[in-house]
Amino acid sequence: MDDTNQSMSMIQAINSALDVMMERDDGVTIMGEDVGFFGGVFRATAGLQAKYGTHRVFDTPITECGIIGVAIGMGAYGLRPVPEIQFADYIYPALDQLVSEAARLRYRSAGEFTAPITVRSPFGGGIFGGQTHSQSPEGIFTHCSGLKTIIPSTPYDAKGLLIAAIEDNDPVIFFEPKRIYNGPFHGHYDRPAVSWAGHAAAQVPTGYYRIELGKANVVREGSDVTILCYGTMVHVVLEAIAEAGDVDAEVVDLRSLIPLDIDTITASVNKTGRCLIVHEATRTSGFGAELSALVQERCFHALEAPIARVTGFDTPYPHSLEWAYFPGPVRIREALKKVMKD
Amino acid sequence: MDDTNQSMSMIQAINSALDVMMERDDGVTIMGEDVGFFGGVFRATAGLQAKYGTHRVFDTPITECGIIGVAIGMGAYGLRPVPEIQFADYIYPALDQLVSEAARLRYRSAGEFTAPITVRSPFGGGIFGGQTHSQSPEGIFTHCSGLKTIIPSTPYDAKGLLIAAIEDNDPVIFFEPKRIYNGPFHGHYDRPAVSWAGHAAAQVPTGYYRIELGKANVVREGSDVTILCYGTMVHVVLEAIAEAGDVDAEVVDLRSLIPLDIDTITASVNKTGRCLIVHEATRTSGFGAELSALVQERCFHALEAPIARVTGFDTPYPHSLEWAYFPGPVRIREALKKVMKD
Amino acid sequence: MTPESPRPNQATPNQPALQLYVPEPPARPGEEADFIHIDVPPAGIVPRPDIASAPADMREFPFTMIRVLDEAGAAVGEWNPDLTPDLLRTMLRSMALTRAFDERMFRAQRQGKTSFYVKCRGEEAVAVAAAYALDDKDMLFPSYRQQGLLIARDWSLVDMMNQIYSNREDRLKGRQLPVMYSVKEAGFFSISGNLTTQYPQAVGWAMASAARGDTRIAAAWCGEGSTAEGDFHSACTFASVYRAPVVLNVVNNQWAISSFSGFAGGENTTFAARGLGYGIASLRVDGNDPLAVYAATKWAAERARGNHGATLIEHVTYRAEGHSTSDDPTVYRSAGEPNAWPLGDPINRLQQHLTAIGEWDQARHAAMDTELAEQVRAAQKLAEKNGTLGHGLHHSMDSMFEGVFEDMPWHLAEQRQEMLDEWRAAGL
Amino acid sequence: MTPESPRPNQATPNQPALQLYVPEPPARPGEEADFIHIDVPPAGIVPRPDIASAPADMREFPFTMIRVLDEAGAAVGEWNPDLTPDLLRTMLRSMALTRAFDERMFRAQRQGKTSFYVKCRGEEAVAVAAAYALDDKDMLFPSYRQQGLLIARDWSLVDMMNQIYSNREDRLKGRQLPVMYSVKEAGFFSISGNLTTQYPQAVGWAMASAARGDTRIAAAWCGEGSTAEGDFHSACTFASVYRAPVVLNVVNNQWAISSFSGFAGGENTTFAARGLGYGIASLRVDGNDPLAVYAATKWAAERARGNHGATLIEHVTYRAEGHSTSDDPTVYRSAGEPNAWPLGDPINRLQQHLTAIGEWDQARHAAMDTELAEQVRAAQKLAEKNGTLGHGLHHSMDSMFEGVFEDMPWHLAEQRQEMLDEWRAAGL
Ligand SMILES: Cc1ncc(C[n+]2csc(CCOP(=O)(O)OP(=O)(O)O)c2C)c(N)n1
Ligand SMILES: Cc1ncc(C[n+]2csc(CCOP(=O)(O)OP(=O)(O)O)c2C)c(N)n1
Ligand SMILES: [Mg+2]
Ligand SMILES: [Mg+2]
């Protein structure tokens, strides 16, 4: 482990993770729409084609089905493809290749063939992107056996988790909360944007390190209530707690949805007796439902109030009404009050 | 309403629903792989092409994406397409057209264009169909705003619900539990198959009738525990209760996942104080998770024990190990014991 | 490499090492632009087949280019549609209005009045000329870059701007990204943000129209990059199998964001050739020649109306500016490209033609430009009275819950109430 | 019709009513079979281009048919691969073994020993001849109907049967539907139940091989019906763009379950023509002529090895029996079809050729058939010792939870425990 630290934004940390892994493993291959010469519409792959060549970093035709299908074939050959889906909203044409193929290849071939691919994709709202640049489809992937689903919330985690995902021999869906690529976002769209500079988790080692998949991070200890969240919402939740002032909440940043760190979750809820779940995705059958089910199955007798969910509403993502839709500090604060009262 | 009744299997009831609707509304148009001359691999559309012509019942190229995309266009024109996806396992290539297009067309065009399509598809296991003829992907659709998801458990319900689905002006995913097309199945694969003949719900009116979408059916009243289930599982659950003997369970056949009959569910759980959820789909992030979350959010103070789930395991559907995978009477009975004890 | 990955087989004289070919555009920033790979045949040389021709008898059409306007601005050859000067002027005006509208809305985005805008500069003929070649009642399934269709169909600029601003008069209630119009009244289908999904939908609409004995046909557009999506293939397959009355347009503007057309397969054949694979009649036209676009569209429309099946048309054109307001093309393509582009500008070319036939002059053109700029400015003023994005007037927050379904189910009603309660509780 | 649906436009002399065309096969049950639409050119007339030919110079190949064996059983023309009698006999034997295996396993399914089986009768040449034309180390991405590949690569019949029986020696642990083999050792990719997904995977494998400077190429197979899936299009697009060293085979056996090839677009052009659309070299061969299949595959393989790019090959053949054990073709197609089929039977044709050149005779053929039947019977006996589906020996129930991931996560371990506890509690 190289322990020189450097201040990085999340996008820089992701770029660094890719760079480190391309350097270490010549099977790591990046592909996707506009990821090559241009370096990606969010610049995640900037500079990598120039450094590693077009054989290892290349633009693709605009077919998400093809991108994933081809990546699976490359993975079966023995490479470690890291395909990018330009926006998570465009992952659906690839769904069959992901859930029927990548997710099941190891199983159905009894380990003869595997799909060690890491699918990177920016997800989530907060950028006025409308219905097709804002979605949070992570719940779907958590329902499909054979896929891991990872979502970082800081530059440090993004790099360590992405490296672990690429090294993983199973397919990983790596959703990047695009709203916090360039700075943490606390949910107040009307306040000036802040950058990552100065944030503790923006101090990122320049070299190789990994964060084990399946380990949550308790980003704030507390005794009143457990808040389960991930991605952008971690920052919004922290802001809401700060604004509420009077609730000593424990905040668990899941980081890994599958595999889930159930021990950290149950330990926390057993301690606090209350639980609030926050995600941007639509509510019904979102990952929050699974979290709620798991928590009540395991912490039933410890629970003092119903587990509550603050989520995106069950509508398509509405362009101009984004800030009513987005689960911001107001909604979280109000939900906290309710959970504490019940 | 024509009130001549006739004994019908589920597949006959579905065929009858299609026939009745094609007769009543010349916009109803059936399309899909092998649905035309052949009448479908399960015979659901048998005889309809001969009766209504190739313009209204036709075979299609093998592209689920195309089938749904074309159906959406026909729906936007003003027809009421009823596309068939041969097996629910093959619906993924159509996912983008379903969730990004059909589900959002009304919303994004503010009602100018709609997709009044009913997507029929056989789903579920129990037929030694292996990984790609056995899946239960309903959970995914319940997560996507703008789609209704319907699952019948008897011939009577299948016809009434399918008619209501076709008449609905929004897109409906209509999953047909193929294991019970030709007879109810109680979960004992090693006992002789039974036919629908003689089953009360196999008495089906030959004419038009509808069952409102969004209304559950309490198929067994009871006071000890509420069991939420749908499709094939309704029959397996009833069998498990009969075998258990000592539990007075109330069985709610949801019939409609979206919209959900929340009032019937909460009334029942508030009465019994216990809740078991049963489905064939894989557990994590399945619709059972949403049911569990909803029930604990609404019936928290009435609950005497944790809500439990009996589901398919989180693996691909294993061909030869089907009867260990399938949530049969043994598993349900054991879960019931646990729920009653806790 | 994964643990189980094998070593590559050693190359031998009989079996040389394989090599991965990765396309490269002719020029990157700092290099000289070069369109030598685009073969430009003289105008007028391509014959015009009968509209009932079998696709098998038309296999050479994807490999040439239908061009009507020659270098001097004369309309020549069998494809010359012989339009009246009035119609030519109307087309010129619609193209110029499209461009004026684009300029203004691009600026509005830069001024923070909206989140997003997409121009079609250089590609105006593709949409505008097609609109005039089709019937007003034919159904259009566009991508985000065919605003010219709406403008040619005389749709209200204010209405379009209301959508761009997501303001209180936006008929789409602020739900859609700017430029994702939906105008049923003008036969303009709701634009999707997901590429090429409109293609099979257009085919389905056309099949429905045919099944009902209607006379209306459908037309769809997608970019050359978008042809790679599976939806394109589904659409072409259905269009071929059922001989659907649909015109499938591929707008080859050479770029898909930063990816040149080679990444869509453009190095190995034309995009019109895609149609050959399905046995669909396929034409390739100079997309910056409004008369050629008009003529090809007319041919395809007549073919469809005569129950002779679908046509695929590749329009060879050039995206003269960035992909959208989110894009900066100087980062990935040669700055010299717009000038090196061999097919000129569609507005200039029609202007030249009208001038050549004595039906137009410099002064009238300048007057038109001034008038159109004024028209757009006036429309903008009206639209902005209804609000701009993030500034004041918009649809009510709780309208968000409407229209997901025809009737609002309980869970949405409950979520709406939850939202209203939270606001109230928070004192907002 | 929906509430908002418009009335169709009235037809006029200028605008006749549109009609929806829906394909119909030439014959249905009770009608006389007819393959007049399949044009069969004489053997030997198609020239053999250089393996480095540009696709643009080969555009006529999709519209003819490469045939080597003439009616008398002579091998003629430029495509004659000049194989040794030994290799010809080996090919014959593999085809006959494939057929014997099919017969036996079909019967095993009928006897309730397994849930499902798929025969390839009449199509044996497509897989077997290709296997010999490729290198043993080339990677194969088959559909469920290319069991001939495995047999030609001398894979163990017992191992295949173990899979079909899902028994305790099934290397796939009973997880997969019968016939969905996976044999890495034989370069045979895990078969998917979802159609055409293997196509882009094959292209990806080939691209990886090229990127690594390997010498191994890939080959994929799908049915003509499966060409309609978006995956086919993605694969062809990638194969074209990156000139991937891959052979893409379309097995046109005229039927996709009950749908004749017209529903995949076969009425309007050939399936080989699909390749034209991408600028991929495309060949169309008599799929029941083992020498033609061999020669075309060899050409494509050499082309790929020489870094000249991908080839698409349509194999014109006929599915002589039902789709699978779940299917009864007499319900939807004319009973006379197998006899009317103009390209004969691949085993008969190779037998005829070997006999014609004096390298084979009736007696040897009969002896071979007897020997192969015995070989299959013996294999079956061995396999059945390991169990048949639903009868005794199989992998342990809890093996179900293994191999979902490389390492079992807690939730699967917990579910496994739950299952075991439930059984125990139930006294099972
Ligand atoms: C399914 C999907 N994938 C990716 C995108 C992102 N995207 C938007 S526009 C675009 C490029 C399209 O290029 P082209 O089809 O050539 O059309 P043009 O923009 O040139 O008009 C891409 C990749 C998308 N909108 N939808
Ligand atoms: C994605 C998907 N859709 C549908 C099916 C159902 N299905 C299985 S085989 C088949 C027909 C395939 O026909 P073809 O491609 O011609 O191959 P053949 O069986 O003739 O070899 C169909 C529709 C499937 N397996 N996967
Ligand atoms: Mg383009
Ligand atoms: Mg076939």
Inter-chain Cβ pairs, chain A and chain D, closer than 8 A: 146
pLDDT of residue D241: 98
A6–chain B Cβ distance below 8 A for any pair: no
Q: How far is D193 from chain B (nearest CA, A)?
A: 6
pLDDT digits (tens, 9 = 90+) for A82-104: 999 999 999 999 999 999 999 99
Instruction: Name which residue sits closest to atom 13 of ligand 1, judged by CA.
Output: C256
Which of D1, D175, D228 faces B63 most closely, judged by CB atoms?
D228
Q: Answer for the pair D61, D284: CB distance below 8 angstroms, yes or no.
A: yes
pLDDT of residue A185: 97
Q: Which residues pair with B89 in a beta bridge?
A: none
**Which residue is listed with tokens 């076969």?**
D266
Inter-chain Cβ pairs, chain A and chain B, closer than 8 A: 127
Catalytic residue among A133, A186, A199, A279: A133
B70–chain A Cβ distance below 8 A for any pair: no
Q: Where are the alpha helices (DSSP H) in chain B?
A: 10-24, 48-52, 64-77, 95-96, 105-108, 138-142, 155-167, 232-244, 262-272, 287-299, 322-325, 329-341
Q: Which residues pair with A203 in a beta bridge?
A: A7
Do residue B296 and residue A297 have CB atoms under 8 angstroms apart?
no
Contact partners for chain D, using 3 or more CB pairs closer than 8 A, are: A, B, C
Element (H, E) at A82: strand A80-84
Backbone Cα Rg of chain C: 24
The chain D residue lying nearest A213, using CA atoms, is D409
The chain D residue lying nearest C59, using CA atoms, is D59
Interface with chain D: mutation pick from B26, B62, B285, highest number of D CBs within 10 Å: B62
Mean of per-residue pLDDT scores for chain D: 96
pLDDT digits (tens, 9 = 90+) for B269-322: 999 999 999 999 999 999 999 999 999 999 999 999 999 999 999 999 999 999
pLDDT digits (tens, 9 = 90+) for C91-121: 999 999 999 999 999 999 999 999 999 999 9
Mean pLDDT over D361-387 rounds to 98
pLDDT digits (tens, 9 = 90+) for C177-227: 999 999 999 999 999 999 999 999 999 999 999 999 999 999 999 999 999
pLDDT digits (tens, 9 = 90+) for D100-131: 999 999 999 999 999 999 999 999 999 999 99
Instruction: Name which residue sits closest to atom 3 of ligand 1, judged by CA.
Output: A90
Residue C73, pLDDT > 80, answer yes
Residues A176 and A118: their CA atoms lie apart, in Å, by 12
The answer for residues whose C-beta is within 8 angstroms of residue B268's C-beta and 6 or more apart is B218, B226, B250, B252
Which of D265, D395, D400 faces B313 most closely, judged by CB atoms?
D400
Backbone angles phi, psi at B120, to 5 degrees: -85, 140
pLDDT of residue B217: 98
Residue D309, pLDDT > 70, answer yes
CB-CB neighbors (< 8 A) of B60 in chain C: 238, 241
pLDDT digits (tens, 9 = 90+) for D218-236: 999 999 999 999 999 999 9
pLDDT of residue C392: 75
pLDDT band at D4 (very low <50, low <70, confident <90, very high): low
CB-CB neighbors (< 8 A) of B105 in chain A: none
Q: C230-241 and C198-211 helices cross at what angle (nearest 10)? A: 20
Mean pLDDT over A230-248 rounds to 97
| Atom of ligand 2 lying closest to residue D223 CA | 15
Q: Which residues pair with B282 in a beta bridge?
A: B312
- Percent of chain B predicted with pLDDT > 90: 99
Residue A342, pLDDT > 80, answer no
Catalytic residue among B133, B186, B199, B279: B133
Q: D272 CA to middle of ligand 4, Å?
A: 14
Mean pLDDT over A36-42 rounds to 98
Residue C269: CB atoms within 10 A of its CB come to 23
Mean of per-residue pLDDT scores for chain C: 97
pLDDT digits (tens, 9 = 90+) for A161-194: 999 999 999 999 999 999 999 999 999 999 999 9
Do residue B107 and residue C183 have CB atoms under 8 angstroms apart?
no
What does B165-180 look like in DSSP terms, one character per residue? HHH-SS-EEEEEEGGG
Residues B55 and B31: their CA atoms lie apart, in Å, by 10
Q: Answer for the pair A72, A101: CB distance below 8 angstroms, yes or no.
A: yes
pLDDT digits (tens, 9 = 90+) for C266-313: 999 999 999 999 999 999 999 999 999 999 999 999 999 999 999 999
pLDDT of residue C177: 97
Amino acid in position C22: V
pLDDT of residue C4: 66
pLDDT of residue B59: 98
pLDDT digits (tens, 9 = 90+) for D128-184: 999 999 999 999 999 999 999 999 999 999 999 999 999 999 999 999 999 999 999
Residue B51, pLDDT > 60, answer yes
Mean of per-residue pLDDT scores for chain A: 97
Mean pLDDT over A113-120 rounds to 98
Ligand nearest to the Cα of D179, by number:
2
DSSP helix/strand/coil, A225: strand
Residue C323: CB within 6 Å of ligand 1?
A: yes
Which of D5, D390, D401 faces B313 most closely, judged by CB atoms?
D401
- Determine the distance from the C-alpha atom of residue C194 to the mean position of all C-alpha atoms in its chain, rounded to a whole number: 14
pLDDT of residue D427: 82
Do residue A262 and residue D201 have CB atoms under 8 angstroms apart?
no
pLDDT band at C427 (very low <50, low <70, confident <90, very high): confident
pLDDT digits (tens, 9 = 90+) for B119-162: 999 999 999 999 999 999 999 999 999 999 999 999 999 999 99
Mean pLDDT over C157-184 rounds to 97
List residues near ligand 2 (CB under 6 A). B 33, 62, 86, 90, 93; D 145, 193-195, 222-226, 251, 253, 255-257, 319, 323
- Percent of chain A predicted with pLDDT > 90: 99
The chain D residue lying nearest A63, using CA atoms, is D234
pLDDT of residue D207: 98
pLDDT of residue D426: 83
pLDDT of residue C139: 98
Q: Where are the alpha helices (DSSP H) in C111-220?
A: 124-133, 147-152, 157-165, 198-211
Q: Answer for the pair A312, A282: CB distance below 8 angstroms, yes or no.
A: yes
The preferred substitution site among D123, D179, D195, D259 for testing ligand 2, maximizing ligand atoms within 8 Å of CB, is: D195
Residues A49 and C412: their CA atoms lie apart, in Å, by 47
Cα distances (angstroms) measured from residue A81 to each of A30, A48, D196, D383: 6, 14, 21, 39
Mean pLDDT over A43-65 rounds to 98
A56–chain C Cβ distance below 8 A for any pair: no
Q: Answer for the pair A270, A302: CB distance below 8 angstroms, yes or no.
A: yes
pLDDT of residue A158: 98
Contact partners for chain A, using 3 or more CB pairs closer than 8 A, are: B, C, D
pLDDT band at D13 (very low <50, low <70, confident <90, very high): confident
Surrounding ion ligand 4 within 5 Å at CB are: D 223-225, 253, 256
Q: Answer for the pair B208, B163: CB distance below 8 angstroms, yes or no.
A: yes
pLDDT of residue A2: 54
Do residue D207 and residue C20 have CB atoms under 8 angstroms apart?
yes
- Percent of chain A predicted with pLDDT > 70: 99
The chain B residue lying nearest D4, using CA atoms, is B78
pLDDT band at B2 (very low <50, low <70, confident <90, very high): low
Mean pLDDT over A13-35 rounds to 98
A133 an active-site residue?
yes
Amino acid in position A62: I
Window 202-261 of C, Cβ < 8 Å to D: 207, 209-217, 228-234, 237, 240-245
Mean pLDDT over D302-330 rounds to 97
